Amino acid sequence: MNKITKQILDKVPKNAKVLDLGCGDGSLLSTLIKEKNCSGYGIDLNHDCIIDCTKKGISAFQSDMESGLDGFSDQFFDVVILSQTLQQVNKPLDLIKNMLRISKQAIVTFPNFAHWTIRFSLLFGDIPKSKALPYEWYDTPNIRVISIQSFREMCKKNKINIVEELSIYERGILNFCLAPLAPNFFCHRGMFLIEKK
Amino acid sequence: MSQASLIYNLSDPLELESGSKLNHVDISYETYGTLNKTKSNAILICHALSADAHVAQHPENKTKGWWDDLVGNGKAIDTKKYFVICSNTIGSCRGSTGPMSINKSTKKPYGLKLPVITIGDMVSAQEALLNHLNIETLFAVVGGSMGGMQALEWSIRFPSKVKRCIAIATTAKLSPQSLAFGAVGRNAITSDPEWHKGDYYAKEAPQKGLAIARMIGHITYLSEQGMLDKFGRNLQEKTDFGYDFSSDFQIESYLKYQGDKFMTFFDANAYLYLSRAMSYFDLEKKYKSLNKAFKKSESKFLILSISSDWLYPSKQSKEIVKSLMTLSKDVTYAEIDSPFGHDGFLLECKKIGKVVKPFLGN
């Protein structure tokens, strides 16, 4: 189980009704169902992902995320998860607001563009590539640049309550010591548990 | 031994949604595979407008079925594993009671004396057949187009009987655009001078009207891209226009071919009845809303649409899925990427099978 899955698993309550946006092959949902007795759906635009979900017995809906949320009543889900795809969304704020409409809480994770390695790449004139952001600038699904600090600011401006910040850093004694002090500098992924104020 | 369709004659009159009763109903059906001891592996397949009970070939009868690439030994709907039943819908002309059948009280074909048949009535007849076969639960009910409507109706009317419902390229109700195409098709038949208000069985049949209805139907079954890819503006066995009114373009000759072929095996009145049944199908009207319709259903749902289908577009499938999701039902939706339009539900068996097989496997 990877770090992100583990962190999400820790934060999702037992028996929760979950919506996983950009659910991929359904691994996360499958884990949540097994470990936390959750129920819910995955949404993914990729047809092969829906087939993979079906193989795992996961209910999935082939759709883009934005229109996938329409039709659900307010607070329908306990948790909506948007893992590693916020940077690919056309209107991130609209999506987050809509997520918090249909769900009591949301978990959002994204690659942190303010990680020190990325800052150094930029300093030396390169468009950064990293484990979390592996694409060339001219061939990438990522259209948004997000940092942990800027996500916090977005929440503040839009009356979104950060229940918990769970940003993730790479292994290593240096990261272990420094990441909690300056997550925006040392965490390569931002992760937030948020709700409406 | 060649496996012909079997006929089941309903012992009781069938009560129809219109309030009428239909006596002496025959249901033509075929079965594939073996029913297991616990009777838990039965799959009912519902067909679309023009098809029949012959969904796949039998070991003894190699005639190709209409869903041969999806149903059979080792196929996605595996007849080694499942006991497959497919029956001709009532109102049709392919073995089950329809307008062409002999009315036992008058000894003449029904014609328009046959009460109007609805999708719900087709399902009632299928249910009677399953009772006759002593099948109490369905492992799955599967259908495309009009067959998908029947599959949805099954999951609503018999909530605990249907374990899985697979509805492909279908809708909870026809859009006004689809209603319009249906209306023009029916008009083509009823305007044919040979139609005689449906009483033509002793005379010439309204073949021209039926062929035109089918041609219109085929336009709605293809997509713009599909037509472009398959025919373009190509001429049929000509190098230049004929400067007359015979078929110049390949698309013209394709439609003519489809119309002419249809005349040889389909009855014009049956076309009217089935087209009418589809136009009346409206789950929102019947059950007040989609959510009310599906509320009690215990089925697992797989809803599939064809990306280029504009007759029953993906949007309409998604409405069904959204309703099921808001009811917290077990539902999966996938869009089959295809240029074939509505016809994709018959032509994209490989892609459909890729989703259907694991869905049935779970």
Distance CA B84, CA B140 (A): 9
Distance CA B40, CA B33 (A): 13
Q: For chain B, what percent of residues have pLDDT higher than 90?
A: 96
Per residue in B27-45, pLDDT tens?
A: 999 999 999 999 999 999 9
- Active-site amino acid positions of B: 145, 309, 342
Q: Do residue B155 and residue B183 come from a single domain?
A: no
B362 interaction partners in chain A (CB closer than 8 Å):
54-55, 57
Q: Do residue B130 and residue B224 come from a single domain?
A: no
pLDDT of A15 above 80? yes
Residue among B333, B337, B354 minimizing CB distance to A61? B333
Residue B54 counted as domain residue: yes
Beta bridge partners of B31: B85
Q: Do residue B11 and residue B82 come from a single domain?
A: yes
Q: Parallel, antiparallel, or unpaired: how do β-strands A77-83 and B83-87 relate?
A: unpaired
Residue B223 counted as domain residue: yes
Q: Do residue B152 and residue B258 come from a single domain?
A: no
A47 interaction partners in chain B (CB closer than 8 Å):
334-337
Residue with the two structure tokens 């979104």: A160
Nearest C-alpha in B relative to A68: B322
pLDDT of B60 above 80? no
Residue B44 counted as domain residue: yes
pLDDT-derived band at B3 (thresholds 50, 70, 90) equals: low
Residue range A3-113+143-196 forms a domain whose CATH class is: alpha beta
Domain of residue B130: give its range: 6-174+283-361
Distance CA B6, CA B48 (A): 19
Cα distance from A24 to chain B (closest Cα, Å)?
14
pLDDT attached to residue B333: 98
Tell me chain B's radius of gyration from C-alpha atoms: 20
pTM for this structure?
Answer: 0.95
Contact across the interface for B326 and A76, Cβ inside 8 Å: yes
Contact across the interface for B325 and A61, Cβ inside 8 Å: yes
pLDDT of A53 above 80? yes
Q: Do residue B165 and residue B60 come from a single domain?
A: yes
Residue B1 counted as domain residue: no
* Total domains present in chain B: 2
Tell me chain A's radius of gyration from C-alpha atoms: 17
Q: Which residue among B256, B275, B294 closes a domain?
A: B275
| Chain A (12-41) residues lying within 8 Å, Cβ to Cβ, of chain B | 17, 39, 41
Q: Do residue B242 and residue B294 come from a single domain?
A: no
Residue among B318, B323, B332 minimizing CB distance to A54? B332
pLDDT of B6 above 50? yes
Q: Do residue B132 and residue B191 come from a single domain?
A: no
- CB-based contacts of B362: which residues, under 8 Å, 6+ apart? A54, A55, A57, B300
pLDDT-derived band at B2 (thresholds 50, 70, 90) equals: very low
Q: Which residue among B246, B275, B304 closes a domain?
A: B275
Cα distance from B358 to chain A (closest Cα, Å)?
5
Q: Do residue B241 and residue B166 come from a single domain?
A: no
Instruction: Specify the 3-state DSSP secondary structure of B102.
Output: strand
Q: Do residue B122 and residue B108 come from a single domain?
A: yes
pLDDT attached to residue A32: 97
Contact across the interface for A60 and B325, Cβ inside 8 Å: no
Q: Do residue B57 and residue B153 come from a single domain?
A: yes
Q: Where are the domains of chain A?
A: 3-113+143-196
Contact across the interface for B355 and A17, Cβ inside 8 Å: no
Per residue in B136-148, pLDDT tens?
A: 999 999 999 999 9
Q: Do residue B119 and residue B23 come from a single domain?
A: yes
Per residue in B240-294, pLDDT tens?
A: 999 999 899 999 999 999 999 999 999 999 999 999 999 999 999 999 999 999 9
Cα distance from B149 to chain A (closest Cα, Å)?
20
Contact across the interface for B355 and A61, Cβ inside 8 Å: no
Per residue in B7-22, pLDDT tens?
A: 999 989 999 999 999 9
pLDDT of A71 above 90? no
Distance CA B58, CA A37 (A): 44
pLDDT of B362 above 80? no
Average pLDDT over residues B90-98: 97
CATH number of the CATH domain containing B53? 3.40.50.1820
B334 at interface of A, judged by CB pairs closer than 8 A? yes
pLDDT attached to residue A49: 97
Answer whether A69's CB lies under 8 Å from A59's CB. Answer: no
Provide the residue count of chain B: 362
Average pLDDT over residues A106-122: 92
**How many beta-carbon pairs under 8 angstroms link A with B?**
54
Per residue in A126-183, pLDDT tens?
A: 888 887 788 998 999 999 999 999 999 999 999 999 999 988 888 778 778 888 888 9
Vertex A154, ends A163 and A146: CA angle to 5°? 100
Q: What's the farthest any 2 CA atoms get from each other in chain B?
A: 67
Q: Do residue B165 and residue B268 come from a single domain?
A: no
pLDDT-derived band at B1 (thresholds 50, 70, 90) equals: very low
Residue among B331, B336, B337 minimizing CB distance to A59? B331
What's the mean pLDDT when you consider all of chain A?
92
Cα distance from B313 to chain A (closest Cα, Å)?
14
Q: Which residue among B234, B253, B275 closes a domain?
A: B275
Residue B127 counted as domain residue: yes
